[in-house]
């Protein structure tokens, strides 16, 4: 296990280098001149040259790319073009509101979807399964904006069950502000997640080992709990873990409508203001998280199914 872990970490170095090269090329060669965007189109050539020198954009590209690699290693991406804040501090301050929203929603959605998926697959073909499928498709069909508007207008404004928007740094008040966006986030993802888990479990039900377990006289509920649930964990783990990077990026729509000062809102502001250092930092962070979660997924595969050989994977 440890040998595989170290080997995958070593493999991640060229992957991260390739990601850094692509990100640098997109933002420095395709994205336009940041200095021109900062000072405006009516600025003098002297002013543009001064800003380029201040940002280090007058250096050769190989030197700029080396500085970018150093930023990745030290996690020091300099300052924002627009706010002049230290980007590392901006990310650190914004990640906690985002995680306060996304982590509860993530675990609640995972627990409910796996549990309900197991139940409806157990009663497959019956009225509860057919009714659930219609409900899941309905949940998937409604746009996120519809959930937000219904929640803010009906639940918050009309019924006064939740605050309409806002955020607090204190935990008792923060829970009150986050309850509605967490509820909406769960509803947004619940339909598709349950449908995926249901289909994964039904696919396992049709395997030969399940028929063998039934032929041996094992009760149906134990067939599900001891065999179907365990063996359907591979696609479930893949589906759940691949969503972990979105915990950091957060729900941009929810953060915007509920005035949550998280990573999503910061990324939107960076896009609107062409704040390239912030965008490069966020792109790098998300890429690192994807690499880490991929490694974490493979290790979970081995824990769930010891028959899988880590030594023969990537």
pLDDT-derived band at 299, boundaries 50, 70, 90: confident
Q: What sign results for the dihedral spanned by CA atoms 261, 263, 264, 265?
A: positive
In the chain, pLDDT over 90 holds for what percent of residues? 8
To which H or E segment does residue 298 belong? helix 276-304
- Res. 13: pLDDT tops 80: yes
SS3 86: strand
pLDDT in tens, 113-169: 888 888 888 888 888 888 888 888 888 888 888 999 999 999 999 999 999 888 888
Residue extents of the structural domains in the chain: 2-74, 101-273
pLDDT at 313: 42
pLDDT the model gives residue 312: 46
Decide if 258 contacts 244 (C-beta within 8 A): no
Instruction: Give the tens place of pLDDT for each residue, 241-260.
Output: 777 777 766 677 888 889 88
Q: Mean pLDDT in the chain? A: 81
**Residue predicted with more confidence, 70 or 306:** 70
Closest CA to 37 of 283, 271, 263: 271
Is the pLDDT at 64 greater than 80? The verdict is yes
| 194, 117 Cβ separation under 8 angstroms | yes
Report the candidate in 185, 189, 203 with the shortest Cα–Cα distance to residue 102: 185
Rounded (10°) angle between helices 233-241 and 171-205? 150
pTM > 0.75: yes
Mean pLDDT of the region 88-109 = 89
The domain 101-273: what is its CATH number?
Answer: 1.10.3720.10
| 3-12 burial code (b ≥16 CB/10 A, e <16) | ebeeebeeeb
Say which DSSP state 277 is in: H
- What is the pLDDT, as a whole number, of residue 32? 65
pLDDT score, position 284:
83
């Amino acid at each position: 296990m440890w040998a595989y872990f170290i080997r995958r970490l070593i493999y991640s170095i060229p992957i991260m280098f390739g990601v850094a090269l692509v990100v640098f090329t997109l933002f420095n060669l395709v994205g336009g001149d940041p200095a021109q965007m900062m000072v405006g189109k009516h600025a003098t050539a002297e002013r543009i040259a001064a800003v380029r020198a201040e940002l280090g954009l007058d250096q050769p590209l190989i030197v700029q790319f080396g500085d970018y690699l150093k930023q990745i290693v030290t996690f020091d991406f300099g300052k924002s073009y627009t706010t002049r804040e230290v980007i590392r501090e901006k990310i650190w301050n914004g990640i906690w509101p985002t995680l306060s929203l996304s982590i509860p929603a993530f675990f609640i959605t995972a627990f409910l979807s796996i549990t309900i998926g197991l139940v409806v697959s157990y009663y497959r073909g019956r009225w509860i399964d057919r009714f659930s499928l219609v409900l899941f498709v309905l949940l998937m069909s409604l746009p996120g904006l519809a959930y937000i508007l219904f929640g803010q207008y009906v639940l918050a404004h009309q019924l006064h069950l939740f605050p309409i928007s806002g955020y607090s740094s204190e935990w008792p008040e923060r829970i009150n502000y986050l309850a509605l966006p967490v509820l909406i986030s769960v509803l947004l993802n619940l339909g598709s997640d349950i449908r995926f888990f249901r289909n994964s479990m039904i696919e396992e039900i049709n395997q030969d080992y399940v028929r063998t377990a039934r032929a041996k006289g094992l009760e149906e509920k134990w067939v599900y709990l001891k065999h179907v649930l365990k063996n359907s964990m591979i696609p479930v783990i893949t589906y759940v873990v691949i969503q972990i990077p979105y915990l950091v990026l957060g729900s941009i729509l929810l953060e915007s409508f509920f005035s949550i000062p998280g990573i999503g809102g910061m990324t939107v502001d960076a896009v609107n203001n062409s704040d390239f250092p912030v965008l490069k930092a966020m792109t790098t962070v998300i890429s690192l998280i994807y690499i880490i979660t991929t490694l974490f997924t493979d290790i979970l595969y081995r824990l769930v199914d010891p028959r899988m050989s880590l030594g023969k994977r990537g």
